[in-house]
Structure 1
Amino acid sequence: MDWYLKVMKNYFNIDGRARRTEYWMYFLVYIGIIILAGILDAIIGLGLVGLLVALGHLIPSITVGVRRLHDIGRSGWFLLIGLIPFIGWIILLYWAVKEGDPQDNAYGSNPKAA
């Protein structure tokens, strides 16, 4: 939960780097919240809760994705590759599971060393 809260506290922050742990733990908690919102929507009969949860997590999901790309030495603009169906998703998935740069890069120091 600490990783999720760290991302939510850095709501608009695209500076620095995000470790794999930070990225994947955020999305694990986010998926759980989306599932709960879907169940709540099914009970209530509206699609409003899921929509509000998705909108509330849109910016943090983008910013943690940008910081994750920074960790492997890529610009955050590479996140737009995800707009290419299938191929773009596979490339982004590969970059998301790839080990970060062990040394400092143009986007900051190694978060594992800190």
Structure 2
Amino acid sequence: MTTIPLSHHRSHGEWVFTSGQIGRDADGTVPSAFGAQMRVAIQSLRANLEAAGASLDSVVKTTVYLKRQEDFAEMNEIYATYFDQPWPARSTVVAGMVRPELSFEIDAIAYRRPS
């Protein structure tokens, strides 16, 4: 895979910003099922947040990108298993993806408490 010019996460003070996380497994394969892609992407999001000293619980804003509007209900069901109330603020966008096999992408902004 060619290196792309981005960081998976960057921090500024107490704030952590993640790049969009996609549903690509560690071996580079992309599951065909929407739900599987979404779970892999959120697990990647979790790992990037934890590497930066944050967590899913500290997320204040997400942006979710869906390839198909028909996946919105399933996305909400799965999303609710990873995030708790008070829910992060969220924008959901139906958009084309950079690779045709991708159905889902998510990025986040989190607040990490100073140590």
> Scaled by the length of structure 1, what TM-score is found?
0.30
Structure richer in helix, relative to its length: 1
Structure richer in strand, relative to its length: 2
> Scaled by the length of structure 2, what TM-score is found?
0.30
Which one scores higher on RCO, CA 8 angstroms, separation ≥ 6?
A: 2
